[in-house]
Amino acid sequence: MSTAAEQATALNTSELLQLIDAQFEEVTPTRVSGTVAADARHHQPWGLIHGGLYTATVETFATIGAFQAVRDRGQQVVGVSNATDFLRARTGRLRVVGEAIHQGRTYQLWQVVISRDEDDKPVARGQVRLQNLDQKPPE
């Protein structure tokens, strides 16, 4: 596990990130990979995985990578669009791979695929557009 991956995993301090149990294996400015949990905690009332799990995972992995791309410039990133397609419901640990499609001065576009670990069949895929923002100095 790279240092950046360890740092990203250590960010699991919010209740949402703890709930999806994101574990990062690779974190670079152009690629992020790892796994998330998909279990009964993530079910909708009818017993299937809630699509919000997939949406939150897509946004999380894209944001972690996008931040790596701009942090040395003293910038932050914020998601402005998230389009996630739900392909199949699945429980267990899910594999996640996010890759940068475009990285410009003012925005980035990332694609994230969530798949079953045992056979790599996708369960969801998403695209996130993020805006690069200059950090405001503390007041």
- Known catalytic residues are 59
Q: Do 38 and 49 form a contact (C-beta atoms < 8 A)?
A: yes
Q: Point out which residues pair with 111 in neighbouring strands.
A: 99, 127
CA-to-CA dists, residue 78 to 55, 63, 88, angstroms: 15, 7, 28
DSSP letters, 17-83, are: HHHHT-EEEEE-SSEEEEEEEESGGGB-TTSSBPHHHHHHHHHHHHHHHHHHHHGGGTEEEEEEEEE
Q: Using the structure block, give the residue that is written with the tokens 């360890």.
A: 6
